[in-house]
Structure 1
């Protein structure tokens, strides 16, 4: 190989080395900054192909996707001096690459630790202003919304991090407090049960008394109507008997005597009467004379 060809190969190799060291690619899922001797010269490199001065400048890449900070459950004190165990998570991403690099040196673990401290402090302050009921069931969404807005302002200024969302996975009570709350809830439900049973018994007695009163009234009205109907029937029967008697008094007297004979002689007892008694009037004479 001639010296000229060898020189050309050397020059080509140097150019390739310089190109490989100078050209770099930033993906869509990345954010980057360019450093020159440790000083930031480009604090927000967009995705695409870029150039840097070989051996003088270097590029730091960071994950630009939405990341999750899943903190360990922590104890917090409510305004009523009751402890709760809160398990939460935070969705965040890099907003300002320059601020993020200055605050964390580009170390994601360092960023997570700093963010976790801010989240715990925010939760502690917010829960300390609320009662146990408000934290457990009353104002959890409102608490998270307020805390997200407050922390977002602080983290963007201090860490270059944007907080997208904060959620509470669980709010538990310590074992001793859980037993106390359970006993208090049990006593409260028992009190409500006794109150409901008392109200039910009172209502039952009222219904029973009203039913007994209605029964007495109905029976009295039925007895009154029955006696009235019976009296009307007796009066009607007496009227019919009287009318029949007035039509033929002699026949009526004859039928009464026959009925008296039948009832008297069917007994089989001894009857002592004088022969000329009026009882034997129709036995002596068919016309009763």
Structure 2
């Protein structure tokens, strides 16, 4: 057996050992070098690194921002109206050494369970200190920030940074929906009844004012009519008096003709009067003298 034949296996083993001692960390991850479970090195910057083959191992963790949907939970605000809250959190592994010490070989799944527990506890605490109206209003963003800030200190013990927390959904529990809708309907019906009552009251005032104005206008018109009628009668009487003074016989003849026209109407031609009554003076024909 020649030397080349002996050196070939050695070269293959050496190349394999060299290759197994090299590993690459890219910009999306962080890496730990473990030796019999103990952390020997932390690599957070991208690059080419070395380890001892067969003795050391490399554990990689995602360095990107990760998302976590918090399981829906029921909270009880100050006004005792229970709400179902659905939240969403974004986080990243900030301290990879502490992260490994906190969760061990279980890694990210265990960390997500613990973060979920932290966020649920802080959500109940923060939302339990305000009313349901504040939770359902535009102040939700402020409440989410309070939850994030409160959860950060606890998550830091896991080597995790909570970047953001959002309240995606805040609804009433299913069993409370009917009662809440009934109460809302009753409140709206009460408001509608109040508006109708106020409208009827305003309508009554308008009608009363209109009736009063109508009575005042009619009374004023009747008063003016009576004045005008009185003035006309006075003027008529004055004209009659003047006519009577100017020609007494003609005036009596004119008044008699008026009396005839009013008395001798169709359907009213029956009169019981003495023949020598003065009423017929102008109807008697004078006999011609012989």
Sort the TM-score into its range (normalised by shorter chain).
Answer: 0.7 to 0.9
Q: Does 1:231 align with 2:233?
A: no
For residues 265 and 45 of structure 1, the distance between their equivalents in structure 2, rounded to whole angstroms, comes to 132
Equivalent residue of 2:40, what SS? strand
Residue 151 of structure 1, CA deviation: 1.0
Q: Which moved more, 1:179-188 or 1:146-155?
A: 179-188
RMSD in angstroms over aligned alpha carbons?
3.4
Residue 251 of structure 1, CA deviation: 4.4
Q: Which moved more, 1:126-135 or 1:256-265?
A: 256-265
- CA deviation vs aligned residue, 1:63-83 (integer Å, no higher than 9, x gap): 222222113222334445554
Residue 7 of structure 1, CA deviation: 5.1
- CA deviation vs aligned residue, 1:228-268 (integer Å, no higher than 9, x gap): 23333334444455555556555444444444555566646
Equivalent residue of 2:83, what SS? strand
Q: Which moved more, 1:201-210 or 1:265-274?
A: 265-274
So what's the TM-score if we normalise by structure 1? 0.79
Q: Which moved more, 1:222-231 or 1:86-95?
A: 222-231
Q: Does 1:34 align with 2:33?
A: yes
How do 1:1-289 and structure 2 match up within 5 A?
3-6=2-5, 9-10=8-9, 12-80=11-79, 83-105=82-104, 107-137=107-137, 139-156=139-156, 158-242=157-241, 251-260=250-259, 267=269, 269=271, 271-274=273-276, 279-280=281-282, 284=286
Unaligned runs of 5+ in 1: none
Please tell me whether the aligned partners of residues 253 and 282 of structure 2 are also in contact (alpha carbons under 8 angstroms).
Answer: no
For residues 195 and 19 of structure 2, the distance between their equivalents in structure 1, rounded to whole angstroms, comes to 83
Unaligned runs of 5+ in 2: none
Residue 8 of structure 1, CA deviation: 5.6
Equivalent residue of 2:30, what SS? strand
Please tell me whether the aligned partners of residues 29 and 63 of structure 2 are also in contact (alpha carbons under 8 angstroms).
Answer: yes
Please tell me whether the aligned partners of residues 257 and 282 of structure 1 are also in contact (alpha carbons under 8 angstroms).
Answer: no
So what's the TM-score if we normalise by structure 2? 0.79
Q: How many correspondences in the alignment? A: 283
